[in-house]
């Protein structure tokens, strides 16, 4: 298959889909996401495949959405030629439609007939957490770092998954501050199924997936559908879509302009350092990051 940003492989009853932009920490460009969803559908259609494993090349699972705005290649086959976004059934016209598009794209994995196991190492940030959360299972390296730093200065989470996968107090903590939480702790709080030493991650995840693949495809499909419908009866679809409307509102607040100003004037890396500086993690751990700065929307530190 002519994929540029992912690798698609099969081995007996397993399909392996690998995010393959390691030099960008597998940032989710529109082309990568389009190829990913096409590969998911390919695996779903293959009767020989029982379980899908989603993994990533390099030292990190995913740094989030591609804030650099990498253009879609001219020969891209898996994005809508009008919107340049992965296909969801609409072109999402108008402003502040990004999070709505994100949730609609991720429903592709939710509705697949086959279970998807996410294998997570290194950083799993922002949109990377949304992608992993939509999978059926999550297996992390103990030292993986899961977080959502955009909530510090940009907008609320595009896909408000935390109340569905974490205890209420931790759900608020993650959604309000986006701090880095280890894979081991995320397993403790119930987001990840298992956390293992990073040297064991490949082998453990494959054994987990192969064990599941002994079950016939239709049984797995109906089991997945039964669990999904319980979540839907509890309101997960409406809840996540309502969260996209709040995200759109948060992007219109006065202080939201500060992020764009920082990107325009200093570039993306400088803006990330400004965002994370006081928290001293992610880009804020760099010596050049401002450890003390005014709150966004207040007096400038220029």
- Domains of the chain plus CATH, in order, are 6-218+225-232 (3.90.226.10), 253-302 (no CATH)
- Count the Cβ atoms, other than its own, within 10 Å of residue 291: 10
Query: Reduced to 3 states, what is the DSSP secondary structure of residue 237?
Result: helix
- Count the Cβ atoms, other than its own, within 10 Å of residue 112: 20
pLDDT of residue 302: 47
pLDDT of residue 300: 54
**d(C-alpha 116, C-alpha 213), whole Å:** 11
pLDDT of residue 299: 62
**d(C-alpha 158, C-alpha 145), whole Å:** 19
pLDDT of residue 1: 61
- Positions of the chain with pLDDT under 50: 301-302
pLDDT of residue 69: 87
Evaluated on CA atoms 263, 302, 252, 173, the torsion sign reads positive
Tell me whether strands 6-11 and 14-19 are parallel, antiparallel or unpaired.
antiparallel
**d(C-alpha 125, C-alpha 106), whole Å:** 16
pLDDT of residue 108: 97
**d(C-alpha 153, C-alpha 250), whole Å:** 10
Query: 118: closest CA among 130, 103, 104?
Result: 130
Please provide residue 256's backbone torsions phi and psi, each rounded to the nearest 5 degrees: -60, -25
Cα 79 to Cα 15, 87, 93, 105: the distances in Å are: 22, 6, 15, 11
pLDDT of residue 203: 98
Which residues touch 207 (CB under 8 Å, ≥6 apart)? none
């Amino acid at each position: 298959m002519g994929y540029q940003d992912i690798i698609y492989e099969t081995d007996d009853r397993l399909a392996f889909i690998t995010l393959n932009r390691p030099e960008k920490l597998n940032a989710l460009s529109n082309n990568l996401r389009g190829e990913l969803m096409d590969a998911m559908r390919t695996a779903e259609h293959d009767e020989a495949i029982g379980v899908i494993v989603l993994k990533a090349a390099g030292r990190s699972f995913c740094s989030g959405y591609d804030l650099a705005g990498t253009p879609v290649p001219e020969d891209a086959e898996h994005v809508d030629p009008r919107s340049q976004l992965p296909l969801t059934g609409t072109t999402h016209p108008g402003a502040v439609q990004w999070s709505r598009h994100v949730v609609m794209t991720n429903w592709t994995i939710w509705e697949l007939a086959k279970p998807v196991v996410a294998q997570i190492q290194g950083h799993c940030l922002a949109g990377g957490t949304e992608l992993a959360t939509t999978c059926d299972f999550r297996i992390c390296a103990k030292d993986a770092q899961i977080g959502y730093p955009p909530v510090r200065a940009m907008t609320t989470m595009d896909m408000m998954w935390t109340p569905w996968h974490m205890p209420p107090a931790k759900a608020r903590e993650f959604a309000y501050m986006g701090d880095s939480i280890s894979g081991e702790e995320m397993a403790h709080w119930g987001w990840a199924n298992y956390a293992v030493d990073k040297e064991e991650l490949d082998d453990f995840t494959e054994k987990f997936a192969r064990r599941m693949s002994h079950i016939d495809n239709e049984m797995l499909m109906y089991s997945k559908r039964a669990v999904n419908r319980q979540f839907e009866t509890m309101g997960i679809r409406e809840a996540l879509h309502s969260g996209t409307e709040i995200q759109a509102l948060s992007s219109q607040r006065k202080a939201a302009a500060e992020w764009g100003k920082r990107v325009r004037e200093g570039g993306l890396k400088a803006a990330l350092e400004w965002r994370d500086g006081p928290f001293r993690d992610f880009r804020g751990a760099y010596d050049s990051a401002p450890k003390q700065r005014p709150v966004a929307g207040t007096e400038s530190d220029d």
